[in-house]
Structure 1
Amino acid sequence: MELSGIESKVALITGAAQGIGAEVAHTLALAGAHVALADTNAERLTTAVAKIEAAGLSASGHPVDVRDSDAVEALAQQVEAEHGPIDILVNAAGVLRTGRAVDLADQHWNEVFAVNATGVFHVSRAVARRMLSRRRGAIVTVASNAGGVPRVDMAAYAASKAASAHFTRCLGLELAPSGIRCNVVSPGSTDTPMLRSMLGELTDPAILITGSAEAYKIAIPLGKLAQPSDVAAAVAFLVSDQAGHITMHDMYIDGGAALHV
Protein backbone atom coordinates (compact mmCIF):
# COMPACT_ATOMS: atom_id res chain seq x y z
CA MET A 1 0.00 0.00 0.00
CA GLU A 2 1.39 3.37 -1.00
CA LEU A 3 0.93 5.97 1.72
CA SER A 4 -0.34 9.44 0.88
CA GLY A 5 -0.68 12.69 2.80
CA ILE A 6 2.93 12.83 3.99
CA GLU A 7 4.60 14.37 0.96
CA SER A 8 5.49 18.07 1.33
CA LYS A 9 4.41 18.08 4.99
CA VAL A 10 6.62 19.22 7.85
CA ALA A 11 7.21 16.52 10.44
CA LEU A 12 8.78 17.18 13.84
CA ILE A 13 10.35 14.12 15.47
CA THR A 14 11.81 14.20 18.97
CA GLY A 15 14.45 11.73 20.11
CA ALA A 16 15.52 11.63 16.48
CA ALA A 17 19.29 11.29 16.85
CA GLN A 18 19.24 7.49 17.04
CA GLY A 19 17.10 4.40 17.41
CA ILE A 20 13.40 4.50 16.64
CA GLY A 21 13.29 8.30 16.34
CA ALA A 22 16.03 8.36 13.70
CA GLU A 23 14.33 5.58 11.74
CA VAL A 24 10.98 7.41 11.87
CA ALA A 25 12.64 10.55 10.56
CA HIS A 26 14.25 8.67 7.68
CA THR A 27 10.99 6.87 6.82
CA LEU A 28 8.94 10.08 6.74
CA ALA A 29 11.65 11.82 4.70
CA LEU A 30 11.47 8.98 2.16
CA ALA A 31 7.71 9.60 1.99
CA GLY A 32 8.40 13.20 0.98
CA ALA A 33 8.17 15.13 4.24
CA HIS A 34 10.62 17.72 5.47
CA VAL A 35 11.74 16.18 8.73
CA ALA A 36 12.81 18.38 11.64
CA LEU A 37 14.90 16.18 13.92
CA ALA A 38 15.06 17.21 17.58
CA ASP A 39 17.29 15.73 20.26
CA THR A 40 19.57 16.66 23.15
CA ASN A 41 22.59 14.97 21.57
CA ALA A 42 23.83 17.55 19.07
CA GLU A 43 26.62 15.36 17.67
CA ARG A 44 24.41 12.38 16.90
CA LEU A 45 21.73 14.75 15.63
CA THR A 46 24.15 16.19 13.07
CA THR A 47 25.03 12.68 11.92
CA ALA A 48 21.37 11.66 11.58
CA VAL A 49 20.52 14.77 9.56
CA ALA A 50 23.53 14.29 7.30
CA LYS A 51 22.50 10.70 6.58
CA ILE A 52 19.06 11.82 5.45
CA GLU A 53 20.40 14.69 3.37
CA ALA A 54 22.97 12.38 1.75
CA ALA A 55 20.02 10.43 0.33
CA GLY A 56 18.75 13.63 -1.31
CA LEU A 57 15.98 14.12 1.22
CA SER A 58 14.92 17.17 3.23
CA ALA A 59 15.93 17.42 6.89
CA SER A 60 17.01 19.87 9.57
CA GLY A 61 18.45 19.40 13.04
CA HIS A 62 17.26 21.15 16.19
CA PRO A 63 19.00 20.55 19.53
CA VAL A 64 16.42 20.73 22.32
CA ASP A 65 15.68 19.37 25.77
CA VAL A 66 12.02 18.36 25.88
CA ARG A 67 12.05 18.85 29.66
CA ASP A 68 12.32 22.62 29.09
CA SER A 69 8.91 24.00 28.09
CA ASP A 70 10.35 27.36 26.99
CA ALA A 71 12.90 25.65 24.76
CA VAL A 72 10.16 23.47 23.27
CA GLU A 73 8.00 26.50 22.50
CA ALA A 74 10.99 28.18 20.84
CA LEU A 75 11.59 25.00 18.82
CA ALA A 76 8.03 24.96 17.49
CA GLN A 77 8.31 28.62 16.53
CA GLN A 78 11.64 28.07 14.79
CA VAL A 79 10.55 25.03 12.80
CA GLU A 80 7.39 26.73 11.56
CA ALA A 81 9.20 29.96 10.73
CA GLU A 82 11.90 28.16 8.74
CA HIS A 83 10.02 25.27 7.17
CA GLY A 84 6.28 25.86 7.43
CA PRO A 85 3.39 24.54 9.50
CA ILE A 86 4.04 21.38 11.49
CA ASP A 87 1.43 18.87 10.34
CA ILE A 88 3.06 15.78 11.83
CA LEU A 89 4.49 15.31 15.31
CA VAL A 90 6.18 12.14 16.53
CA ASN A 91 7.11 11.99 20.22
CA ALA A 92 10.00 9.52 20.26
CA ALA A 93 12.27 11.01 22.93
CA GLY A 94 12.72 8.65 25.85
CA VAL A 95 15.04 7.55 28.61
CA LEU A 96 15.28 4.32 30.60
CA ARG A 97 16.27 3.77 34.22
CA THR A 98 15.88 0.24 35.56
CA GLY A 99 15.67 -1.05 39.11
CA ARG A 100 13.27 -2.41 41.69
CA ALA A 101 10.62 0.07 42.70
CA VAL A 102 11.63 -0.09 46.37
CA ASP A 103 15.22 0.76 45.45
CA LEU A 104 14.60 3.53 42.90
CA ALA A 105 16.17 6.87 43.72
CA ASP A 106 14.00 9.96 43.48
CA GLN A 107 16.39 11.30 40.84
CA HIS A 108 15.90 8.34 38.53
CA TRP A 109 12.11 8.36 38.89
CA ASN A 110 12.01 12.09 38.17
CA GLU A 111 14.40 11.82 35.20
CA VAL A 112 12.27 9.19 33.52
CA PHE A 113 9.00 11.06 33.99
CA ALA A 114 10.53 14.40 33.00
CA VAL A 115 11.38 13.09 29.53
CA ASN A 116 8.92 10.27 28.86
CA ALA A 117 5.77 11.92 30.21
CA THR A 118 6.32 15.65 30.84
CA GLY A 119 8.40 15.96 27.66
CA VAL A 120 5.56 14.47 25.62
CA PHE A 121 3.21 16.98 27.25
CA HIS A 122 5.49 19.95 26.48
CA VAL A 123 6.00 19.09 22.82
CA SER A 124 2.43 17.98 22.16
CA ARG A 125 1.02 21.12 23.75
CA ALA A 126 3.27 23.45 21.75
CA VAL A 127 2.48 21.75 18.44
CA ALA A 128 -1.21 21.05 19.08
CA ARG A 129 -1.87 24.72 19.80
CA ARG A 130 -0.66 25.51 16.32
CA MET A 131 -2.51 22.61 14.71
CA LEU A 132 -5.77 23.77 16.29
CA SER A 133 -5.75 27.05 14.40
CA ARG A 134 -5.30 25.15 11.13
CA ARG A 135 -7.72 22.33 12.03
CA ARG A 136 -5.42 19.60 10.77
CA GLY A 137 -2.53 17.46 11.93
CA ALA A 138 -1.45 14.06 13.21
CA ILE A 139 0.39 13.24 16.42
CA VAL A 140 1.96 9.89 17.33
CA THR A 141 3.58 9.10 20.66
CA VAL A 142 6.05 6.24 20.90
CA ALA A 143 5.19 4.52 24.19
CA SER A 144 5.94 0.88 25.11
CA ASN A 145 4.15 -2.39 25.66
CA ALA A 146 5.56 -2.09 29.19
CA GLY A 147 2.97 0.65 29.65
CA GLY A 148 0.24 -1.98 29.51
CA VAL A 149 1.99 -5.01 30.99
CA PRO A 150 3.81 -4.94 34.36
CA ARG A 151 7.55 -5.51 34.08
CA VAL A 152 10.06 -6.41 36.78
CA ASP A 153 12.75 -3.73 37.33
CA MET A 154 10.94 -1.30 35.01
CA ALA A 155 8.40 0.42 37.26
CA ALA A 156 9.48 3.98 36.45
CA TYR A 157 9.77 3.40 32.71
CA ALA A 158 6.53 1.45 32.47
CA ALA A 159 4.58 4.01 34.50
CA SER A 160 5.95 6.91 32.47
CA LYS A 161 5.04 5.23 29.20
CA ALA A 162 1.55 4.44 30.46
CA ALA A 163 1.20 8.11 31.36
CA SER A 164 2.36 9.32 27.95
CA ALA A 165 0.07 6.89 26.14
CA HIS A 166 -3.02 7.86 28.11
CA PHE A 167 -2.18 11.56 27.83
CA THR A 168 -2.01 11.16 24.06
CA ARG A 169 -5.41 9.47 23.94
CA CYS A 170 -6.94 12.21 26.11
CA LEU A 171 -5.38 14.81 23.83
CA GLY A 172 -6.84 12.98 20.86
CA LEU A 173 -10.31 13.19 22.35
CA GLU A 174 -9.97 16.94 22.84
CA LEU A 175 -8.53 17.55 19.35
CA ALA A 176 -10.83 15.23 17.39
CA PRO A 177 -13.50 17.93 16.74
CA SER A 178 -10.78 19.90 14.94
CA GLY A 179 -9.82 16.97 12.73
CA ILE A 180 -6.50 16.35 14.49
CA ARG A 181 -5.66 12.71 15.10
CA CYS A 182 -3.57 11.44 18.04
CA ASN A 183 -2.34 7.86 18.23
CA VAL A 184 0.16 5.73 20.10
CA VAL A 185 2.58 3.02 19.04
CA SER A 186 3.78 0.68 21.79
CA PRO A 187 6.85 -1.29 20.77
CA GLY A 188 8.13 -4.29 22.64
CA SER A 189 11.78 -5.34 22.65
CA THR A 190 13.34 -3.48 19.72
CA ASP A 191 16.95 -3.63 18.57
CA THR A 192 18.00 -0.12 19.58
CA PRO A 193 20.86 1.46 21.55
CA MET A 194 18.46 1.80 24.51
CA LEU A 195 17.76 -1.94 24.54
CA ARG A 196 21.44 -2.79 24.25
CA SER A 197 22.28 -0.45 27.13
CA MET A 198 19.69 -2.24 29.26
CA LEU A 199 21.20 -5.62 28.41
CA GLY A 200 24.67 -4.42 29.35
CA GLU A 201 27.17 -7.19 28.79
CA LEU A 202 24.46 -9.58 27.64
CA THR A 203 24.91 -9.64 23.87
CA ASP A 204 22.62 -12.58 23.08
CA PRO A 205 19.04 -11.29 22.75
CA ALA A 206 17.67 -14.82 22.93
CA ILE A 207 16.48 -14.33 26.51
CA LEU A 208 14.22 -11.51 25.28
CA ILE A 209 12.78 -13.78 22.59
CA THR A 210 12.31 -16.90 24.70
CA GLY A 211 11.04 -15.06 27.78
CA SER A 212 11.87 -15.41 31.45
CA ALA A 213 9.67 -17.11 34.03
CA GLU A 214 11.68 -15.50 36.83
CA ALA A 215 10.85 -12.06 35.49
CA TYR A 216 7.26 -12.98 34.61
CA LYS A 217 8.02 -12.06 31.00
CA ILE A 218 6.40 -14.01 28.19
CA ALA A 219 8.31 -15.01 25.07
CA ILE A 220 7.83 -13.17 21.80
CA PRO A 221 5.42 -15.36 19.78
CA LEU A 222 6.91 -14.26 16.45
CA GLY A 223 10.32 -15.39 17.68
CA LYS A 224 12.31 -12.25 16.90
CA LEU A 225 13.11 -8.75 18.10
CA ALA A 226 11.48 -5.81 16.41
CA GLN A 227 13.62 -3.58 14.22
CA PRO A 228 13.29 0.22 14.35
CA SER A 229 11.94 0.04 10.79
CA ASP A 230 8.98 -2.04 12.04
CA VAL A 231 7.98 0.77 14.39
CA ALA A 232 8.69 3.50 11.83
CA ALA A 233 6.43 1.82 9.28
CA ALA A 234 3.57 1.81 11.79
CA VAL A 235 4.14 5.48 12.60
CA ALA A 236 4.16 6.38 8.90
CA PHE A 237 0.84 4.58 8.43
CA LEU A 238 -0.76 6.34 11.39
CA VAL A 239 0.17 9.82 10.13
CA SER A 240 -0.88 9.06 6.56
CA ASP A 241 -4.21 9.63 4.86
CA GLN A 242 -4.76 5.86 4.90
CA ALA A 243 -5.26 6.12 8.68
CA GLY A 244 -7.59 9.09 8.32
CA HIS A 245 -10.33 7.53 10.49
CA ILE A 246 -8.00 6.25 13.22
CA THR A 247 -7.48 8.25 16.39
CA MET A 248 -6.88 7.46 20.08
CA HIS A 249 -5.56 4.05 19.03
CA ASP A 250 -2.66 2.27 20.78
CA MET A 251 -0.90 -0.05 18.32
CA TYR A 252 1.25 -2.72 19.96
CA ILE A 253 4.31 -3.63 17.86
CA ASP A 254 5.82 -6.42 19.92
CA GLY A 255 5.49 -9.66 18.00
CA GLY A 256 2.56 -10.62 20.23
CA ALA A 257 4.60 -10.45 23.46
CA ALA A 258 1.96 -8.55 25.41
CA LEU A 259 -0.90 -10.83 24.30
CA HIS A 260 -2.68 -7.48 23.96
CA VAL A 261 -6.43 -7.35 23.38
Structure 2
Amino acid sequence: MGFDSLLQQEYRNKVVWITGAGQGIGQSIAEKFIQLGARVVGFDKQFPRTHNLFKAVQCDLEDLTTLQATLTELIQQGLAPYNLLNVAGVLELGELESHSLEQWQHCQHVNAGAVFVFLKACASHFKQQGLGSIVTVSSNASHTPRQSMAAYCASKSAATQLTLTAGLELAPYGIRANVIAPGSTLTPMQTGMWLDDSGADQVIQGFASQYKLGIPLQKLATPEEIANSVLFFASSLSSHTTLQVLTIDGGATL
Protein backbone atom coordinates (compact mmCIF):
# COMPACT_ATOMS: atom_id res chain seq x y z
CA MET A 1 0.00 0.00 0.00
CA GLY A 2 1.46 3.40 -1.02
CA PHE A 3 1.78 6.44 1.19
CA ASP A 4 -1.21 8.13 -0.45
CA SER A 5 -3.45 5.16 0.28
CA LEU A 6 -2.22 4.97 3.87
CA LEU A 7 -2.89 8.67 4.42
CA GLN A 8 -6.33 8.50 2.83
CA GLN A 9 -7.17 5.62 5.11
CA GLU A 10 -5.89 7.54 8.13
CA TYR A 11 -7.67 10.81 7.37
CA ARG A 12 -10.99 9.70 5.93
CA ASN A 13 -13.62 11.71 7.87
CA LYS A 14 -11.10 12.77 10.52
CA VAL A 15 -11.53 16.29 11.90
CA VAL A 16 -8.47 18.49 11.42
CA TRP A 17 -8.21 22.01 12.84
CA ILE A 18 -6.03 24.48 10.93
CA THR A 19 -5.50 28.10 11.95
CA GLY A 20 -4.64 30.60 9.24
CA ALA A 21 -6.42 28.42 6.67
CA GLY A 22 -7.58 31.38 4.60
CA GLN A 23 -4.29 32.03 2.80
CA GLY A 24 -0.63 31.16 2.40
CA ILE A 25 0.81 28.13 4.16
CA GLY A 26 -2.40 27.43 6.08
CA GLN A 27 -4.47 27.31 2.91
CA SER A 28 -1.98 24.97 1.25
CA ILE A 29 -2.05 22.66 4.27
CA ALA A 30 -5.86 22.67 4.29
CA GLU A 31 -5.98 21.67 0.63
CA LYS A 32 -3.74 18.68 1.27
CA PHE A 33 -5.85 17.37 4.12
CA ILE A 34 -9.08 17.94 2.18
CA GLN A 35 -7.65 15.84 -0.66
CA LEU A 36 -7.08 13.04 1.85
CA GLY A 37 -10.73 13.10 2.89
CA ALA A 38 -10.37 14.96 6.18
CA ARG A 39 -13.08 17.21 7.54
CA VAL A 40 -11.07 20.39 7.81
CA VAL A 41 -12.18 23.11 10.22
CA GLY A 42 -10.34 26.29 9.26
CA PHE A 43 -9.87 29.38 11.41
CA ASP A 44 -9.06 32.80 9.94
CA LYS A 45 -10.25 36.38 9.61
CA GLN A 46 -11.39 35.79 6.04
CA PHE A 47 -11.52 33.00 3.48
CA PRO A 48 -11.61 32.78 -0.31
CA ARG A 49 -15.15 32.92 -1.66
CA THR A 50 -14.75 29.38 -2.92
CA HIS A 51 -13.24 26.89 -0.52
CA ASN A 52 -13.77 23.24 0.30
CA LEU A 53 -13.46 23.46 4.06
CA PHE A 54 -15.85 21.34 6.11
CA LYS A 55 -16.31 24.40 8.31
CA ALA A 56 -14.84 27.90 8.00
CA VAL A 57 -14.67 29.66 11.37
CA GLN A 58 -14.30 33.37 10.71
CA CYS A 59 -12.67 34.80 13.81
CA ASP A 60 -10.10 37.23 15.17
CA LEU A 61 -7.31 35.17 16.73
CA GLU A 62 -6.26 38.23 18.71
CA ASP A 63 -9.53 38.12 20.67
CA LEU A 64 -8.49 35.28 22.95
CA THR A 65 -11.56 35.33 25.21
CA THR A 66 -13.99 34.97 22.32
CA LEU A 67 -11.73 32.38 20.70
CA GLN A 68 -11.78 30.26 23.84
CA ALA A 69 -15.58 30.24 23.85
CA THR A 70 -15.68 29.36 20.15
CA LEU A 71 -13.40 26.35 20.62
CA THR A 72 -15.41 25.08 23.58
CA GLU A 73 -18.55 25.25 21.46
CA LEU A 74 -16.93 23.35 18.58
CA ILE A 75 -15.83 20.55 20.90
CA GLN A 76 -19.32 20.35 22.40
CA GLN A 77 -20.66 19.99 18.84
CA GLY A 78 -18.52 16.89 18.32
CA LEU A 79 -15.91 18.64 16.18
CA ALA A 80 -12.86 18.11 18.41
CA PRO A 81 -9.73 17.56 16.30
CA TYR A 82 -7.70 14.50 15.44
CA ASN A 83 -4.90 16.90 14.43
CA LEU A 84 -4.37 20.46 15.65
CA LEU A 85 -2.30 22.55 13.24
CA ASN A 86 -1.34 26.03 14.46
CA VAL A 87 -0.36 27.96 11.35
CA ALA A 88 -1.72 31.51 11.65
CA GLY A 89 0.80 34.28 12.15
CA VAL A 90 1.22 38.03 11.92
CA LEU A 91 4.30 40.19 11.47
CA GLU A 92 5.06 43.57 13.03
CA LEU A 93 8.21 45.34 11.81
CA GLY A 94 10.23 48.07 13.48
CA GLU A 95 13.20 48.64 15.72
CA LEU A 96 12.64 47.86 19.38
CA GLU A 97 12.58 51.48 20.57
CA SER A 98 9.95 52.41 17.99
CA HIS A 99 7.73 49.37 18.55
CA SER A 100 4.40 50.27 20.13
CA LEU A 101 2.74 48.26 22.86
CA GLU A 102 -0.08 47.55 20.42
CA GLN A 103 2.34 46.02 17.91
CA TRP A 104 3.90 43.89 20.62
CA GLN A 105 0.52 42.66 21.86
CA HIS A 106 -0.72 41.97 18.34
CA CYS A 107 2.17 39.56 17.70
CA GLN A 108 1.97 37.96 21.14
CA HIS A 109 -1.78 37.40 21.01
CA VAL A 110 -2.00 35.95 17.50
CA ASN A 111 1.32 34.11 17.26
CA ALA A 112 1.54 32.78 20.82
CA GLY A 113 -1.65 33.55 22.76
CA ALA A 114 -3.89 31.82 20.23
CA VAL A 115 -1.61 28.76 20.26
CA PHE A 116 -2.00 28.63 24.05
CA VAL A 117 -5.80 28.87 23.78
CA PHE A 118 -5.97 26.09 21.17
CA LEU A 119 -3.63 23.81 23.14
CA LYS A 120 -5.53 24.39 26.36
CA ALA A 121 -8.91 23.79 24.70
CA CYS A 122 -7.78 20.51 23.14
CA ALA A 123 -5.66 19.01 25.93
CA SER A 124 -8.43 17.11 27.71
CA HIS A 125 -9.85 15.88 24.43
CA PHE A 126 -6.47 14.60 23.27
CA LYS A 127 -5.94 12.76 26.56
CA GLN A 128 -9.31 11.02 26.23
CA GLN A 129 -8.78 10.30 22.54
CA GLY A 130 -5.34 8.76 23.06
CA LEU A 131 -4.23 9.44 19.51
CA GLY A 132 -3.56 12.32 17.15
CA SER A 133 -0.96 15.02 16.96
CA ILE A 134 -0.16 18.71 17.11
CA VAL A 135 1.99 20.67 14.68
CA THR A 136 2.81 24.34 15.10
CA VAL A 137 4.26 26.34 12.22
CA SER A 138 6.72 28.65 13.95
CA SER A 139 9.67 30.34 12.19
CA ASN A 140 13.44 30.11 11.91
CA ALA A 141 13.26 33.56 13.55
CA SER A 142 12.25 31.75 16.75
CA HIS A 143 15.87 30.69 17.25
CA THR A 144 17.73 33.30 15.17
CA PRO A 145 17.34 37.01 16.07
CA ARG A 146 16.30 39.36 13.28
CA GLN A 147 16.67 43.12 13.28
CA SER A 148 13.37 45.01 13.38
CA MET A 149 11.50 41.81 14.30
CA ALA A 150 11.61 41.85 18.10
CA ALA A 151 7.91 41.15 18.65
CA TYR A 152 7.76 38.53 15.90
CA CYS A 153 10.85 36.63 17.08
CA ALA A 154 9.70 36.63 20.68
CA SER A 155 6.19 35.46 19.83
CA LYS A 156 7.44 32.65 17.61
CA SER A 157 9.85 31.51 20.33
CA ALA A 158 6.92 31.41 22.72
CA ALA A 159 4.81 29.41 20.27
CA THR A 160 7.63 26.90 19.84
CA GLN A 161 8.10 26.34 23.56
CA LEU A 162 4.36 26.20 24.21
CA THR A 163 4.04 23.40 21.67
CA LEU A 164 7.00 21.44 22.98
CA THR A 165 5.78 21.75 26.56
CA ALA A 166 2.34 20.51 25.52
CA GLY A 167 4.02 17.62 23.73
CA LEU A 168 5.94 16.67 26.86
CA GLU A 169 2.79 16.72 28.98
CA LEU A 170 0.73 14.78 26.44
CA ALA A 171 3.35 12.19 25.46
CA PRO A 172 2.20 9.68 28.14
CA TYR A 173 -1.20 9.70 26.41
CA GLY A 174 0.23 8.88 22.99
CA ILE A 175 -0.09 12.41 21.61
CA ARG A 176 2.77 13.86 19.58
CA ALA A 177 3.65 17.56 19.22
CA ASN A 178 6.21 18.96 16.80
CA VAL A 179 7.22 22.30 15.33
CA ILE A 180 7.98 23.32 11.76
CA ALA A 181 10.21 26.41 11.53
CA PRO A 182 10.10 27.82 7.98
CA GLY A 183 12.34 30.51 6.62
CA SER A 184 11.36 32.90 3.84
CA THR A 185 8.33 31.46 2.07
CA LEU A 186 6.42 32.86 -0.87
CA THR A 187 3.36 34.09 1.01
CA PRO A 188 1.57 37.45 1.39
CA MET A 189 3.49 38.02 4.63
CA GLN A 190 6.79 37.70 2.77
CA THR A 191 5.89 39.75 -0.30
CA GLY A 192 4.40 42.45 1.92
CA MET A 193 7.93 43.27 3.10
CA TRP A 194 9.31 43.80 -0.41
CA LEU A 195 9.79 47.31 -1.73
CA ASP A 196 10.02 46.33 -5.41
CA ASP A 197 10.28 43.40 -7.82
CA SER A 198 13.81 42.62 -6.66
CA GLY A 199 12.55 41.56 -3.23
CA ALA A 200 12.95 37.82 -3.81
CA ASP A 201 16.50 38.18 -5.15
CA GLN A 202 17.49 40.34 -2.19
CA VAL A 203 16.17 37.78 0.31
CA ILE A 204 18.00 34.97 -1.48
CA GLN A 205 21.28 36.91 -1.46
CA GLY A 206 20.89 38.01 2.17
CA PHE A 207 21.44 41.28 4.02
CA ALA A 208 24.97 41.52 5.38
CA SER A 209 24.27 44.79 7.21
CA GLN A 210 21.49 43.03 9.15
CA TYR A 211 23.58 39.93 9.90
CA LYS A 212 21.15 37.89 7.84
CA LEU A 213 22.57 35.13 5.65
CA GLY A 214 21.19 34.41 2.21
CA ILE A 215 19.61 31.13 1.15
CA PRO A 216 22.12 28.50 -0.06
CA LEU A 217 19.46 26.71 -2.12
CA GLN A 218 18.97 29.99 -4.02
CA LYS A 219 15.19 30.01 -3.81
CA LEU A 220 12.29 30.82 -1.52
CA ALA A 221 10.18 28.03 -0.11
CA THR A 222 6.70 27.52 -1.51
CA PRO A 223 3.69 27.07 0.78
CA GLU A 224 3.30 23.56 -0.61
CA GLU A 225 6.83 22.60 0.46
CA ILE A 226 6.05 23.62 4.03
CA ALA A 227 2.67 21.87 3.84
CA ASN A 228 4.31 18.59 2.84
CA SER A 229 6.42 18.61 6.00
CA VAL A 230 3.43 19.52 8.17
CA LEU A 231 1.53 16.57 6.72
CA PHE A 232 4.43 14.23 7.52
CA PHE A 233 4.69 15.39 11.14
CA ALA A 234 0.93 15.36 11.66
CA SER A 235 0.33 11.90 10.23
CA SER A 236 1.22 8.39 11.34
CA LEU A 237 4.14 8.49 8.89
CA SER A 238 6.08 10.07 11.78
CA SER A 239 4.51 7.95 14.51
CA HIS A 240 7.65 7.90 16.70
CA THR A 241 8.56 11.56 16.29
CA THR A 242 7.67 14.11 18.93
CA LEU A 243 9.15 17.20 20.64
CA GLN A 244 11.14 18.07 17.52
CA VAL A 245 11.74 21.35 15.68
CA LEU A 246 12.36 21.04 11.94
CA THR A 247 13.85 24.12 10.27
CA ILE A 248 12.96 24.44 6.59
CA ASP A 249 14.74 27.48 5.19
CA GLY A 250 16.99 26.31 2.36
CA GLY A 251 19.99 26.48 4.67
CA ALA A 252 19.54 30.15 5.62
CA THR A 253 20.24 29.46 9.31
CA LEU A 254 23.07 26.98 8.77
Q: With the length of structure 1 as denominator, give the TM-score of the two structures.
A: 0.90
Letter in 2 for 1:134: Q
By how many angstroms is 1:104 displaced?
Answer: 1.0
Closer, same or farther: CA 142–234 of 1 in aligned 2, 3 Å: same
By how many angstroms is 1:83 displaced?
Answer: 5.9
**Matching of residue 213 in structure 1 with residue 218 in structure 2:** no
By how many angstroms is 1:82 displaced?
Answer: 5.0
**Matching of residue 25 in structure 1 with residue 20 in structure 2:** no
| Equivalent of residue 233 in structure 2, options 238, 242, 258 | 238
Letter in 2 for 1:187: P
Partner of 2:107: 112
By how many angstroms is 1:201 displaced?
Answer: 3.9
Closer, same or farther: CA 221–9 of 1 in aligned 2, 3 Å: same
Alignment of 1:53-202 (within 5 A): 53=52, 59-80=54-75, 82=77, 84-201=79-196
By how many angstroms is 1:203 displaced?
Answer: 4.8
Three-state SS of the structure 1 residue aligned to 2:242 is coil
Letter in 1 for 2:16: A
Question: Residues 72 and 126 of structure 1 are in contact (CA less than 8 Å); yes or no, is this contact kept in structure 2?
Answer: no
**Matching of residue 255 in structure 1 with residue 250 in structure 2:** yes
Question: Residues 204 and 218 of structure 2 are in contact (CA less than 8 Å); yes or no, is this contact kept in structure 1?
Answer: yes
Three-state SS of the structure 2 residue aligned to 1:234 is helix
Q: CA RMSD in A?
A: 1.7
Q: Which moved more, 1:11-20 or 1:80-89?
A: 80-89
Question: Residues 112 and 160 of structure 1 are in contact (CA less than 8 Å); yes or no, is this contact kept in structure 2?
Answer: yes
Distance of 1:70 and 1:135 partners within structure 2: 27
Post-superposition CA distance 1:111-135 (Å, at most 9, x none): 1111111111011111222212222
Question: Residues 36 and 79 of structure 1 are in contact (CA less than 8 Å); yes or no, is this contact kept in structure 2?
Answer: no
Partner of 2:217: 222
Q: With the length of structure 2 as denominator, give the TM-score of the two structures.
A: 0.92
Three-state SS of the structure 2 residue aligned to 1:86 is coil
How many corresponding residue pairs?
249
Distance of 2:230 and 2:201 partners within structure 1: 26
Distance of 2:252 and 2:125 partners within structure 1: 37
List alignment gaps of at least 5 residues for structure 1: none
Distance of 1:19 and 1:205 partners within structure 2: 16
By how many angstroms is 1:16 displaced?
Answer: 1.0
Percent of pairs with identical residues: 39
Question: Residues 188 and 253 of structure 1 are in contact (CA less than 8 Å); yes or no, is this contact kept in structure 2?
Answer: yes
Letter in 1 for 2:161: H
Distance of 2:196 and 2:218 partners within structure 1: 22
By how many angstroms is 1:76 displaced?
Answer: 2.7
Closer, same or farther: CA 30–146 of 1 in aligned 2, 3 Å: same
Question: Residues 142 and 187 of structure 1 are in contact (CA less than 8 Å); yes or no, is this contact kept in structure 2?
Answer: yes
List alignment gaps of at least 5 residues for structure 2: none
By how many angstroms is 1:65 displaced?
Answer: 2.3
By how many angstroms is 1:181 displaced?
Answer: 0.7
